[in-house]
Chains A and B, each alone.
Chain A
Amino acid sequence: MSGLSPGYILLEDGSRFDGLLCGDPEMSTVGEVVFNTAMTGYQEAVTDPSYAGQIITFTYPMIGNYGTSPAAMESSGAHARGVIMRDARNGTDAATAESGWLDWLAENRVVAITGVNTRALVRHIRDKGAMRGAILPAGIGQDEGVLRVTAEPTMAGSDFATQVSPDSPIEFDGDGIHVVALDTGIKASITSQLRQRGCRVTLLPSNSGPDAVLERDPDLIFLANGPGDPAAVAVVVDTVRELVGKKPMVGICLGHQLLCRAVGLETFKLPFGHRGSNHPVKDLETGVIEITSQNHGFAVLGPDGGQTIDEDEPVKWQTAFGEAVLSHINLYDRTVEGLRLPDAKAMTVQHHPEAGPGPRDSRHLFDRFLELAD
């Protein structure tokens, strides 16, 4: 780990938060500044492709306590553009640590800043909404900083999913159900959950058309998580619309939003998103509440166009694909968390049942997913 040098965070509304840059004193980055309230799982977060284009503020102050390890990788590398911390650590004492956190960030060219009053920053974002921002060396003036920040496109309207999608198909062996995924940035934990259940998994580039998917002869089509605005990936939504009903289909996070858009629901940008490991999600069909891992900046509007679901029962309506059911809601803000299309054998959830990081309460959903393919 190299030394610390003065730096700051500049938000598009001109707010500034000072700190110390970790690593290369010349490095800077621009992106959407968001916050994550999980107290563990920093490496998993930074390697989650859904964070592409974003700078993560960790609300928990001590980050890096147990180092880094290959087991915590959610993809082949870092996707977040930067991390903002209160009191970063670089130790390697933990038995599983292969390298220090700050060393790992430097190696992966992730811009990191520590010593920041992250609570003040988080309260600002909470009140004003997630916005573009930059991590800058103190040597770069605020005027220059503002230019850099505003040059960055806003998250609304941005297609990052295509950027993180693989160029060519990736295949994993398995004896069981064949799951074909439109890979908009799938997390390793999802692939791993499917494979633990014996699935054969094929990951296709996200711009693969319906025929390319069906050619693979899937038992189940999987719509992956991923970054950016679901409205900006109309191509994938079109593909999904073609495929619904033809094969059983499941989806997580961005995949959920894409299926919802495909059946005619709209998506909207949440003020500051849901990112953490403590969000209560209620299954409206069983009444069970699960504590979930969350990472999304956009959410699905109800069939009536409302942002919240006030009923405590599944909301049902008719679509071109038969009956649709809003199956899950988030109990923090009563936003939509899950969709089910019984006739089309499809279901999706907004949260992350695979955990990695976060609670595993919802992992059983993978069993439900696979039941659709039986």
Chain B
Amino acid sequence: MPRRDDIKKIMLIGSGPIVIGQAAEFDYSGVQACKVLLEEGYEVVLVNSNPATIMTDPEFATRTYVEPLLPGPVAAIIEKERPDALLPTLGGQTALNLAMDLSADGTLEKYGVELIGANRKAIIRAEDREVFRQVMNDAGIRIPWSVTVESVDEALAVLDSGDATLPAIIRPAFTMGGQGGGIAETREELISIVAKGVAASPIGQVLVEESVIGWGEFELEVMRDHKDNVVIICSIENLDPMGVHTGDSITIAPAQSLTDPVYQSLRDIAIKVIREVGVETGGSNVQFAVNPADGEIAVIEMNPRVSRSSALASKATGFPIAKMAAKLAVGYALEEIPNDITRATPAAFEPSIDYVVTKIPRFAFEKFPGAEHRLSTYMQSVGEVMAIGRTFRQSFSKALASRELDATTTVPASDDDLLEEIKIPTPERIDLIMAGLARGISVEAIHERTSIDPWFLRELASLALEEDGTEGMERIYSSVDTCAAEFEARTPYYYSSCEAPGSPTEVRRGNRPSVVILGAGPNRIGQGIEFDYCCVHAAMTVRDCGRDAVMVNCNPETVSTDYDTSDRLYFEPLTLEHVLAVCEVEKPEGVIVQFGGQTPLKLAQGLRDAGIPLLGTPVEAIDAAEDRGKFGALIDRLGIKPPPYGSAMSAEEAVEVAATVGYPLLVRPSFVLGGRAMEICYSGEDLDTYLKQHVQASPEHPLLLDRFLENAIEVDVDALCDGDEVKVAGIMQHVEEAGVHSGDSACVIPPMSIGDDMLEEIREATAAIALELGVIGLINIQFAIAEGGLYVIEANPRASRTVPFVSKAIGAPVAKLATRIMLGQKLADLDLPESNGSHVSVKEAVLPFSRFQGSDSVLGPEMKSTGEVIGIGPDFPTAFGKAQAAAGVALPDEGTVFISVTDTDKPAATQLAARFHDLGFKVVSTGGTAQAISRMGVPVETINKIAEGSPHVVDLIEDGRCDLVINTPTGSGARADGYEIRSTAIRHGIPSLTTMTGASAAVRAIGVSRNGPGEVYSLQELHAR
């Protein structure tokens, strides 16, 4: 049976905003699925609230809805679009859960929508721990045993009965991050840990579970078709043994340490698991623990959908799992689908690879001071790099080089201290191990403390002591071909490795000119999927303009590293050495460094020095924008003001400069990424504290001091410049207090409370700066409007994080237009619509605080969000309400609102309180605000400010007695309070608004929602208006 003809329209659900554990890999899989389904002639209805995804570009679906991924809005879309089927397996856990909700609430049945890929029963059998356990037990598949107990006596009874054995893991029920649990090795430990655990658990219950910590961890990627043919796409071995989440583990493909019989046993079990769970078609992932002592195998879990691991497996083998999953879901069998890469053989096979793949996760603990640096069974990494090499050592050393770490790991001087430190899995552990091995510490000593398989440790030791074994060899490029060269590869997906001199390179470079696009490397906070989005657009445009698009990147999660995205993909570290080597082969017309964030920009000077032509904005302009002195002089020439600023080479000088610049001050070191170590100082005391705690100012690393414009409206502008002309693509007004990093701030297009004269002034200033800098392509400028004046905060002559949002809001592909300009076209020849007035778009940031135990979850000048959502509506309140809902902080329909505002906002706040009261909300407020509200005759409950002691507002939130926070803080104390209030609100998933613009929108949105759910409309409809 080829494709199904009984379905015409298929709904696909994306994974929403980028969060830890669910990132760009679902854009990659979703894009593949969308492309396949459209090619097959189906109508595709896509729902995803994340504007920074390629899949939400209008050409990837028949209808694209950027609505919140919640049952209500999605049901409304189903009602409107009437899809025949829903494919829930390509949008991560979010899509799977949403599909289950729509199934449970009867929506799917009501509108006759069939779940394809995985049905309800299979999803339950895989996802419900208890059902899964039963299914596995019935099938005779070993899983770690576990017993629930409520007392020490009960625990001892199960121990004595033999139902439990030691060592065992004790996990208290319903505590955060396993708090109160532990590993019991002895009877005594069992008694004490169970006692503690029962006490820690709010329901007095603990799970006594078999300990497989220290066992080897493996994953198999499995695919099944409707004819019940099953194949294994890839095996993955975790370098970090059981106990570290696989997303946080260094992983290697294929498995290295397994004998053939043990591997075949895993394979047999994986096939049995997918059949028993009943995933009818598509990809699944099965995780195993293998006891290294005797080869005993236990199944840990299975995911009945494509996953982060399947994206990695696709990139590691060249086998496009998501694409195949989509084809299988619409009725094809594996044997009916050709292998993309060989084109001669069918997809019913198992890839064989002739290289080694290493994945290393990328962490962001430095962004979350106070968070415990410890890897555990829940994921904390924010991105990853992958590297391909012909040998383990080559692969691993390329992966280490790909990481782009900001800091080097401090290695303890004594071996004993080092050996003590590596007992705990941390992001830095691999560097400590490498340092220890280089120092001559034995493999056995490290194995004893880490349980890492000695095979890996011996390889690492030889890497540490003898480097990667490539001396005297030459770098060549080989293809990723799924078949270990048994058949010829048609797909231009390459990696470099070193081989004996005279070895042939496999790159097939035609005669067309090529343009090299440098990607953004691993996702991290401050440099996420938005930059990959721009790189993909650049590749599309380069191809459209008659050149070969050549992509260089090392991030396996992304669309940019899909071999379909470019004419040639080089999966390589973004280091000068590797990029120059690619240029040596490609002899490109030019290299694009504007789209991948800081990563490629850091290489710009080196590339230019090597004589490689750079397209777009010249290096000098980038430098002029980043150098405060040069940039200050430039805007001074143009008559544009910056906030008062200065810089200091020493702590003493900082104090002097502060006096002239004036408080409050924004202080930061000169070299920063994403606003690290940036703080607002209200007084000399604050500054002293900052200087002591954070930074050593020095002539090499001066300290920057800017006046902080209190109560300013912040504005972000993305504009295009061709050298002669400038067009503003989007002006975004922040809906967040000044001082919150623009990446963490909600913003709105068009601006809501900025007058026409000021907008014109912004446009003029943008044009003047872009032209004066000599920008060719994109520029992002941040402005502040304070006391009627316009100040320029900074200018970045490159693609910004907001480009995808602006593109979706205005309905024009800004990055594509920028690419055309970089390739020599003029703005006059390009079609950039003026933002139409028919709708309003709001972007909201999504924060990861709940992942980091013990971290001070405080928003400020340092960026901390991992992702973003968009809300589009006919008016600001509707769009704002949708954005909040999409970000997981839906505005409440009823309940208690907390209002505390700065003096200038008090008149507006009283109006606001009155409207909340009229909507039936209880109003709670502090001191001055409460008085003002009360004077208007609105009933209000007064509560303490934090400084006034408990019970105060934070207690109110902690106790779950507050549903909405409105807080516009000014001044040192209020600002500190504000951070704490907002952080508490975020932790509890309560919306928190910090500007009156946002607050007015919220009250209006709540009012509007009383009239029932609003209309849903697709991007295609919206931009056709």
The smallest beta-carbon distance between B180 and chain A, in angstroms, is 35
Interface centre among B227, B348, B392 (most CB of A within 10 A): B348
Task: Write the chain B residue with the least CB distance to A279.
Answer: B349
The number of inter-chain residue pairs (CB within 8 angstroms) is 151
Q: Is the CB of A289 within 8 A of B391?
A: no
Please tell me if the beta carbons of A122 and B485 are within 8 angstroms of each other in the complex: yes
Task: Determine whether the beta carbon of A331 is less than 8 Å from that of B352.
Answer: no
A91 CA / B392 CA spacing, docked (Å): 15
A205 CB–B CB distance under 8 Å: no
Chain A nearest Cβ from B463, distance in angstroms: 12
Q: Which residues of B contact A87 (CB under 8 A)?
A: 390-392, 469
Q: How far in angstroms is the closest Cβ of chain B from A272?
A: 8
Cross-interface CB contact of A66 among B228, B258, B346, B504, cutoff 8 Å: B258
Q: Is A53 an interface residue (CB 8 A)?
A: no
By beta carbon, the residue of chain B nearest A93 is B454
User: Does B140 interact with chain A (Cβ within 8 Å)?
Assistant: no
> Are B227 and A331 interface neighbours, CB within 8 A?
no
Report whether A120 and B503 are in contact in the complex, using a CB–CB cutoff of 8 Å.
Answer: yes
Q: Shortest Cβ distance from A9 into chain B, in angstroms?
A: 11
Of A36-44, A218-226, A298-306, the stretch lying at the interface with chain B is A36-44
The one of A62, A116, A277, A287 in contact with B356, judged by C-beta atoms closer than 8 angstroms, is A62
Give Cα A116–Cα B229 distance, bound, in whole angstroms: 37
Given the interface pairs A91-B455, A119-B485, the reply to whether A59 lies near B499 with Cβ below 8 Å is: no
Q: A119-B478, A126-B485, A291-B349 are in contact. Are A60 and B354 (CB under 8 A)?
A: yes
B-chain residues with CB within 8 Å of residue A41 when the two chains form the complex:
260
B483 touches A117 (CB 8 A): no
B318 within 8 A of A: no
**Contact (Cβ within 8 A) B335 A60:** no
Task: State whether A62 touches B231 (Cβ < 8 A).
Answer: no
Q: Is B355 part of the contact surface with A, judged by Cβ < 8 Å?
A: yes
Query: Is B484 in contact with A122, judged by CB distance below 8 angstroms?
Result: yes
* Segment of B125-133, B292-300, B658-666 in the binding face: B292-300
Q: Which of B254, B261, B454, B504 has the most CB of A within 10 A?
A: B261
From 77 to 96 in chain A, residues with beta carbon under 8 angstroms from any chain B beta carbon are: 86-87, 89, 91, 93-96
Task: With CB as the reference atom, state the residue of chain B lying closest to A71.
Answer: B261
**Contact at B335–A91, with CB atoms within 8 Å?**
no
Q: Are A95 and B264 in contact (CB under 8 A)?
A: no
Instruction: Confirm or deny: B259 has a beta carbon within 8 angstroms of a beta carbon on chain A.
Output: yes
Would A331 and B292 be within 8 Å (CB), given that A61-B355, A360-B264 are in contact? no
Q: Categorize the interface residue count of chain B.
A: 35 or more
Kindly list chain A residues whose C-beta atoms are within 8 Å of the C-beta of B504. 120, 123
Select from chain B the residue with minimum beta-carbon distance to A39.
Answer: B254
Contacts of A359 in B (CB 8 A): 264, 267, 350
Task: Please determine whether B499 and A120 come into contact, CB atoms closer than 8 angstroms.
Answer: yes
A332 interface neighbour in B229, B259, B349, B353, Cβ under 8 Å = B349
Asked whether A117 lies within 8 Å of B503 as measured between CB atoms, the reply is yes
Given A59-B352, A91-B455, A282-B335, A126 and B486 contact (CB-CB distance below 8 Å): yes
Cα separation A289 to B348 with both chains bound (whole Å): 8
Q: Do the beta carbons of A65 and B455 come within 8 Å of each other?
A: yes
Contact with B along A283-307 (1 / 0, CB 8 A): 0000111010000000000000000
Residues from 27 to 45 in A contacting B, C-beta threshold 8 Å: 35, 37-41, 44
Say which residue of B256, B260, B292, B484 sits within 8 Å of A358 (CB atoms): B260
B334 at the interface (CB under 8 A from A): yes
At the interface, yes or no: B487 with Cβ under 8 Å from chain A? yes
Task: Name B474's closest neighbour in chain A (CB-CB).
Answer: A117
Residue A18 at the B interface, CB < 8 A?
A: yes
Q: Is B345 an interface residue (CB 8 A)?
A: yes
A288 x B352 contact (CB < 8 A): no
- A69 to chain B minimum Cβ distance, whole angstroms, is 8
Instruction: Specify which of A40, A119, A355 is in contact with B258 (CB 8 Å cutoff).
Output: A40
**Is A66 touching B264 in the complex (CB atoms < 8 A)?**
no
The answer for the CA separation of A72 and B232 in the assembled complex, in Å, is 23
User: Do the beta carbons of B485 and A289 come within 8 Å of each other?
Assistant: no
Q: Give B23 Cβ to nearest chain A Cβ, in Å.
A: 29
* B354→A280 contact, CB < 8 A: no
Interface residues of B in 435-470 (CB under 8 A from A): 453-455, 458, 469
Nearest-neighbor residue (CB-CB) of A17 within chain B: B500
Q: Considering the chains assembled together, what is the distance between the CA atoms of A71 and B504 in angstroms?
A: 39
Quick one: which of B259, B352, B390, B453 contacts A72, CB cutoff 8 A? Answer: B259
Q: Point out the residues of chain B lying under 8 angstroms from A120, CB to CB.
A: 499, 503-504
Least Cβ distance of B294 to chain A in Å?
A: 7
CA distance A37 to B353 in the complex (A): 8
Complex: how many Å from CA A311 to CA B906?
A: 82
Inter-chain contact B352/A93, CB cutoff 8 Å: no
Contacts of A287 in B (CB 8 A): 227
Cα A289 to Cα B488 in complex, Å, equals 23
Taken together as a complex, chains A and B put the C-alpha atoms of A118 and B392 apart, in Å, by: 15
B335-A276 in contact (CB<8A): no
Per-residue CB contact flags for chain A residues 142-155 toward chain B (1 = under 8 Å, else 0) read 00000000000000
Q: Is B268 part of the contact surface with A, judged by Cβ < 8 Å? A: yes
A314 within 8 A of B: no
- Confirm or deny: B351 has a beta carbon within 8 angstroms of a beta carbon on chain A: yes
Given A87-B391, A95-B293: A72 and B355 interface contact (C-beta under 8 Å):
no
8 Å CB contact of A280 from B260, B295, B348: B348
**Chain B residues within an 8 Å CB radius of A18:** 500
Chain B residues, CB < 8 A from A72: 259-261
Q: Is the CB of A331 within 8 A of B258?
A: no
Chain B residues lying within 8 Å of A39, measured Cβ to Cβ, are 254, 352-353
Chain B residues closer than 8 Å to A17, beta-carbon distance: 500
**Bound: A360/B264 CA distance, A:** 7
Q: In the complex, are the beta carbons of A60 and B484 less than 8 A apart?
A: yes
Beyond A287-B227, A291-B350, A359-B264, is A62–B392 a contact (Cβ under 8 Å)? yes
Contacts of B365 in A (CB 8 A): none
Within 8 A of A (CB), among B334-348: 334-335, 345-346, 348
- Which residues from chain A contact B478 at a C-beta distance below 8 Å? 119
CA distance A204 to B876 in the complex (A): 87
Residues of chain A lying within 8 A (CB to CB) of residue B267:
359-360
* B257 adjacent to chain A (CB < 8 Å): yes
Interface centre among B231, B260, B390, B499 (most CB of A within 10 A): B260
Given that A62-B391, A95-B294 are contacting pairs, would A119 and B455 also be in contact in the complex, using a CB cutoff of 8 Å?
no
Q: Is the CB of A59 within 8 A of B484?
A: yes
Is A96 touching B295 in the complex (CB atoms < 8 A)? yes
Give Cα A287 to B261, complex, Å.
27
Contact check, B260 vs A91: say whether CB atoms are below 8 A apart: no
Asked if A115 is at the interface of the complex by the 8 Å CB criterion, the answer is yes
Separation of A356 and B353 alpha carbons in the complex (Å): 20
CB distance from A281 to the nearest CB of B (A): 10
A96 to B293, CA, bound (A): 8
Contact A331 B345 (CB under 8 A): yes
Contact B352 A119 (CB under 8 A): no
CB-defined contacts of A40 to chain B, threshold 8 Å: 258-260, 263
Q: How far is the CA of A360 from the CA of B478 in the complex (A)?
A: 31
Taking CB atoms and an 8 Å cut-off, the chain A residues in 89-144 that contact chain B are: 89, 91, 93-96, 115-120, 122-123, 126
Q: Does chain B have a CB within 8 A of A75? A: no
* A35 vs B487: C-alpha distance when bound (angstroms): 12
Residues of B within 8 A of A89 (CB): 455
Instruction: Add 19 more A-B contacts to A59-B486, A289-B227 (CB < 8 A).
Output: A18-B500, A71-B261, A86-B390, A87-B391, A91-B455, A93-B455, A94-B257, A117-B500, A122-B484, A126-B487, A276-B352, A278-B349, A279-B349, A288-B227, A289-B335, A289-B348, A331-B346, A331-B348, A360-B264
Pairs A–B under 8 Å by Cβ, sample size 20: A35-B486, A40-B263, A60-B484, A61-B390, A62-B356, A65-B256, A66-B455, A86-B354, A91-B454, A96-B259, A117-B500, A120-B504, A122-B354, A122-B486, A278-B349, A289-B335, A291-B231, A291-B349, A291-B350, A359-B350
Residues of B within 8 A of A (CB): 227-229, 231-232, 254, 256-261, 263-264, 267-268, 292-295, 334-335, 345-346, 348-356, 390-392, 453-455, 458, 469, 478, 483-488, 499-500, 503-504
The 5 closest A-B pairs by CB, nearest first: A41-B260, A59-B484, A93-B454, A357-B260, A40-B260
